[in-house]
Amino acid sequence: MSNFIAAADIRRLFSSAMSKMYQQEVPLYSELIQLVNDVNANVLANDEEVKAQLTATGELARLDIERHGAIRLGLPAELATMRRLFSVMGMYPVGYYDLAPAGVPVHSTAFRAIDADSLNVSPFRVFTSLLRLELIDNPTLREKAEAALHQRSIFTSRVIELIEQFEKDGGLNQKDAEEFVNEALETFRWHDHSPVSKELYEDLHRQHRLIADVVAFQGPHINHLTPRTLDIDEVQIGMSKRGITPKAVVEGPPRRKCPIFLRQTSFKALEEEVKFKGPHGEEAGTHTARFGEIEQRGVALTLKGREMYDRMLNAAREKTGGAPTEANAKQYMKNLAESFIDFPDDYRALYDQGLAFFYYQPNKQAAMQKLKNFAEDEVSIQNIAQLIDAGIVNLEPIVYEDFLPVSAAGIFQSNLGEGGQGHYDSQSNQAIFETSLGAKVLDINEIYQKIQSESLIQCLTELKQLRD
């Protein structure tokens, strides 16, 4: 019998270590955590329905440790090794996101756990972007950027050894897992000494601030670490009250009784001192990239629900005359609320119309009283609507564990500031991304469908046992 530690437990260790490191690097993040904790405590104390829902889905216990991070990589080889590193923690590439049409020269995936039980142990996710060097329109600058990236090594030699050991043996013991966490953390640490010249940094910066953030540093420093709130509008107000400047609008859908997908906001990126490589020693400068972000997660939508969401979001943007800005923030939020007026704001309606994914859970008390009214063969998939109507089966929303490209681009752009390329005329290329990754990305909808289907089978099994 092996003494390997579970991948979910390694992920939980790593997430905790990452949070401690980021609090030391960005003290304002600690203030953000306290604000989110205060808002969440208030919601749970005053909204029994939300508390009961989180309890039923297993999310309540994970709420205070829930985080997502974001990193940006420069080379295909870095992405391929990052996939192997995350695999040690039971994190898989889920979904493909192309941010170039929104003016951000990257394409991305999210590394995360993929089954409900593992997610509830540790829902840590890392939105991982790969710089699209081909989108740098100046050939000389593109060559300099690629050369700079090839000069760096973002992984310690020991973490590579531990990844190889994991791949060979199928796991890590407690001691090796703890060493792996410490070594892996080094990849994500902030470095205030740049390996490139100030001149090259400024050239990259003029092309696009994100390009400078990727190319001009020793590694892919974590650029935000995001806690989950139960009321993002209260956090948005709370940031201002605490002297933290929030972005102009909350990205994603409008406020709803039944939250859908993902809503995000952030505080402005910090200006940090950096020492650049110079011909006669170091040159002082600054860099702005790392920021604080907060998210509120709702139910995962089906393809049908996603199409409706995209249509309504686009309508709000068209009516406003484009993406939200500080100048049009109020009008945009008004247009957004009006655009979504016909999107059902009731879980049963979302279920009946096939717009969202749900867990099926047995209501044991109702089952004991009412199952006698159903024949044995009526406790079946075909009769699930009747079982729900009878209150024997409860529906609980499956939380959206992924991201929204328009929202991600909006967060990036609001923290990168004005200037640089506004858009990129390029083809989305998932095949090239997957070649760089060394694997296929997993289909987001298939994961939610599998979780929903498994919960239905489990629910019917439990009901049949109760009936017997």
Instruction: Tell me the DSSP string of 249-300.
Output: S-BSSPP-SS-BSEEEEEEPPPEEEEEEEETTEEEEEEEE---EEEEEE-BP
Query: Which pLDDT band, with edges at 50, 70 and 90, does 420 fall under?
Result: very low
Q: Say yes or no to pLDDT of 126 above 80.
A: yes
For residue 202, give the nearest of 193, 212, 214 by alpha carbon.
212
Query: Which pLDDT band, with edges at 50, 70 and 90, does 440 fall under?
Result: very high
Q: Report the distance separating Cα 292 and Cα 288, nearest Å.
A: 12
Q: Where is 33: in which H helix or E strand?
A: helix 27-46
Q: Which amino acid is at 433?
A: F
Single pTM value for the model: 0.92
Rounded mean pLDDT, 412-436 = 67
Q: Report the distance separating Cα 22 and Cα 29, nearest Å.
A: 7
CA-based R_g, the chain, Å: 23
Q: What is the pLDDT of residue 411?
A: 60
Is residue 375 within 8 A of residue 429, CB to CB? The reply is: no
Q: What is the pLDDT of residue 414?
A: 53
Q: What is the 3-state secondary structure (H, E, C) of 104-131?
A: CCEEEEEEECCCHHHHHHCCCEEEEEEE
Across all residues in the chain, what is the average pLDDT? Answer: 91
Q: What is the pLDDT of residue 372?
A: 85
For residue 355, give the nearest of 395, 315, 408 by alpha carbon.
395
Q: Where is 12: in which H helix or E strand?
A: helix 7-25
DSSP string for residues in 156-210: -HHHHHHHHHHHHHS---HHHHHHHHHHHHGGG---SEEEEEHHHHHHHHHH-HH
Rounded mean pLDDT, 313-341 = 90
Q: Say yes or no to pLDDT of 22 above 60.
A: yes
Residues in contact with 325: Cβ distance below 8 Å, sequence separation at least 6, in sequence order? 248
Q: Which amino acid is at 150?
A: H
Q: Say yes or no to pLDDT of 419 above 50.
A: no
> Highest mean pLDDT: which of 174-188, 253-267, 399-413?
174-188
Query: Which pLDDT band, with edges at 50, 70 and 90, does 292 fall under?
Result: confident
Spell 166-201 as b/e; 16+ CB within 10 A means b.
Answer: beeeebbeeebbebbbebbbebbebeeebebbbebb
Q: What is the pLDDT of residue 428?
A: 65
Q: Say yes or no to pLDDT of 356 above 90.
A: yes
Rounded mean pLDDT, 365-393 = 90
Which residue has tokens 């940006």?
72
3-state helix, strand, coil in the chain (%, to 5): 50, 20, 30
Residue 256 corresponds to which tokens in the numbers above?
């709803």
- Cα–Cα distances in angstroms (integers) from residue 249 to residues 64, 87, 131, 252, in the given order: 24, 35, 26, 9
Q: Report the distance separating Cα 428 and Cα 278, nearest Å.
A: 38
Q: What is the pLDDT of residue 416?
A: 53
Rounded mean pLDDT, 315-324 = 88
Query: Which pLDDT band, with edges at 50, 70 and 90, does 198 fall under?
Result: very high
For residue 196, give the nearest of 188, 187, 204 by alpha carbon.
204
Query: Which pLDDT band, with edges at 50, 70 and 90, does 29 fall under?
Result: confident
Q: Say yes or no to pLDDT of 210 above 60.
A: yes
Q: Say yes or no to pLDDT of 162 above 90.
A: yes
275: left (phi over 0), alpha (psi -120 to 50) or beta: beta
Q: What is the pLDDT of residue 418?
A: 45
Q: Say yes or no to pLDDT of 425 above 90.
A: no
Task: List the beta bridge partners of residue 397.
Answer: 358
Output phi, psi for 71, to 5 deg: -135, 160
Rounded mean pLDDT, 439-450 = 97
Of the listed ranges 94-108, 187-201, 229-243, 421-435, the least confidently predicted one is 421-435
Query: Which pLDDT band, with edges at 50, 70 and 90, does 424 fall under?
Result: low
Q: Say yes or no to pLDDT of 410 above 90.
A: no
Q: Which amino acid is at 86?
A: F
